[in-house]
Amino acid sequence: LSDTLRAAVADGRIVPEFCLHSEYLTQEPYVRAVARKARELGTPVNIHVSETKKEHEECLQRHGKTPVAYLQDCGVLDSPTYAAHCVWVTDEDLAIMQRCGASLVHNPSSNLKLGSGIAPVVKALSAGVNVALGTDGTASNNNLNMFEELHIAALLATGSVCDPAAVSVETLFDMATINGAKALGRKDTGVLAPGMKADLAAVSTAAPHMHPNLDTLGLLCYSAQASDVILTMGDGRILYENGVYTTLEKDKILDELEKTVANLSVR
């Protein structure tokens, strides 16, 4: 590790964790070995779970268990675990996740783009599962826009159960903030409070679509766009402010990107 990375790990800014990717890309002895090591080190585990119907059903054929039940049997859920997608999880899966303290990370844009389905977020919340919000990666989500994810998650939650009051804006906002911190096992961020890391984003309400401001959380969930963000801060350090990236050379990065894409296209 570089000195910078070592320092970041030492002061808690970076928390190492195990990634298993999924049941279908790993062998059971390896999964059990990772589970043992995660328990020994007290390290979180992240994994893709029941993203597609095919994945879910093939796990049943291979192991006679759903992916969640399989992970529990292998000991993975003995450690803090956050499971991406969970589109095809069953009621019993959700009960297992709640008992084990595993988190569900909802990735609405990715699931819709790939035609995977809609995660049972309302059921998960009702079951007491910690539900957080994610973007997945650029392979299945083009802009990694958390405000877009928040908006789509809100619409899917109410539309999937035909109840406009199924999920409150308070719960939706928690999914995008404190619940994400909980999923990562972090107790030093996720809310603005004394003693917490100064990790924040400032959102302007100047644009026409941000008026009238009758409900600030509702405005953030249903109206705000990524372009409304005027400042981001990580641990008190300003990373972006009014169009300026303080730690990145945007033009240089974009130039290198275009050259790389052109090179790939030629090949």
Provide the terminal-to-terminal Cα distance of the chain, rounded to the nearest Å: 33
pTM, two decimal places: 0.93
The DSSP call for residue 248 is: -
* Amino acid (one-letter) located at 71: L
CB 106 within 8 A of CB 131: yes
Q: For position 267, what pLDDT does the model report?
A: 57
CB 133 within 8 A of CB 149: yes
Q: For position 164, what pLDDT does the model report?
A: 95
Task: Going residue by residue through the chain, which has 267 residues, state the pLDDT in tens, using 9 for 90 and above.
Answer: 578 778 777 777 888 899 999 999 999 999 999 999 999 999 999 999 999 999 999 999 999 999 999 999 999 999 999 999 999 999 999 999 999 999 999 999 999 999 999 999 999 999 999 999 999 999 999 999 999 999 999 999 999 999 999 999 999 999 999 999 999 999 999 999 999 999 999 999 999 999 999 999 999 999 999 999 999 999 999 999 999 999 999 999 999 999 999 988 765
CB 80 within 8 A of CB 45: yes
* Amino acid (one-letter) located at 51: E
Q: For position 4, what pLDDT does the model report?
A: 77
CB 159 within 8 A of CB 133: no
